[in-house]
Structure 1
Amino acid sequence: MTAFDDLLAANEVHARTYADGGLTGRAARGLGLVMCMDSRIEPLRMLGLEPGDAKILRNAGARVTGDVLRTLVLAVHLLEVTRVLVVAHTDCRMAKNTDEDVHRVMAGRGLDTRSLHFRTVPDQREGLRHDVQRVRSSPYLPDDLPVAGALYDLATGRLEVVVGEDEPTA
């Protein structure tokens, strides 16, 4: 028995009825979506999307990191992404702690994580403004790329636009 047996068994069931559907690697609806890794969020269902519609980039806190920017550059120039939505969410653990808090917890577990930047975000609205601006100001992305930021409410399932595509971030 391995730690992955349940997943491999589920995949066997899935593979029996799997049909590829002819999807390509491009974003059929032109959407690049940056969001949190929180497993309570189902990005396709949340936005009325189907598999193949969007490129979905997930990390702790929905932060626009260097790797997210690298991936967006590839998605825009090679995979037909024509718009980007950054989505934070309520009840996010990354908004309830500081980097110092996380380092303290990790130190209590015997881990020295001081070389890591966790990118906690105590003010999600300000974090969204910062991250939207980070995408907008990338020299590798088109100046006219629509970029917006929204906050997803886990209690209601609703998105609130915090930074509209034409709205300044400052």
Structure 2
Amino acid sequence: MDAFDDVLSANQQYQRTFTDAGLPGRAAKGLALVTCMDSRIDPLGLLGLHAGDAKILRTAGARVTDDVLRSLVLAHHLLGVERVMVLAHTDCGMAKATDEKVHATIRERSGVDSRSVDFQTIDDQQATLAHDVQRIRSSPYLPADMPVVGGVYDVSTGAVELHAT
């Protein structure tokens, strides 16, 4: 457990001042945000949200995977989500490599053959964003009229630019 001592110690500090806000599990603002796992992204802060306002789903490259769709279906039908924003970002590592390059890097660094994993790297961020938004819109398990939008967060300026997708 030594590898986690720092975060467990921080949690002990957190517990000292923690107050249960009594928030329900529903998304108070009816929003689900699909964004990248990049640690430069503060999903609540960049949209002026607070704990309890939205469901946050993070994947490498902000990709709408089968598991994201599963989570969105649950979030809509059980947790108050009525709109979805897919938010990619500038300087994304998934847009700087190919699956082949990622597999080669993993093999070089660790000897692991990862070719059975589809990393879903991004060769055209706008086209990929439009594709992923359409995946949500066309899900038979979500309302056809549910608002879904795609955009890009600029990690150097903090700006969000929505795109016609």
TM-score, normalising length: structure 1: 0.94
Equivalents in 1 of 2:49, 2:9: separation in Å? 27
Structure 2 residue runs without a partner (length 5+): none
Matched, 1:27 2:27: yes
Cα deviation for residue 148 of structure 1 reads 0.3
Partner of 1:15: 15
**TM superposition outliers: structure 1 runs of 4+ over 4 Å:** none
Partner of 1:115: 116
Equivalents in 2 of 1:6, 1:106: separation in Å? 27
Partner of 1:125: 126
Cα deviation for residue 106 of structure 1 reads 1.3
1:45-81 Cα shifts (integer Å, max 9, x gaps): 1000000000000010000000000000000000000
Root mean square deviation, CA, Å: 0.9
Q: How many residues in Structure 1 have an aligned counterpart in Structure 2?
A: 164
TM-score, normalising length: structure 2: 0.97
Partner of 2:66: 66
Partner of 2:97: 97
SS at match of 1:61: helix
SS at match of 1:87: strand
Matched, 1:47 2:47: yes
SS at match of 1:4: helix
Equivalents in 2 of 1:122, 1:35: separation in Å? 17
1:82-138 Cα shifts (integer Å, max 9, x gaps): 000000000000000011110111121201011000000121111100000000000
Equivalents in 2 of 1:147, 1:96: separation in Å? 26
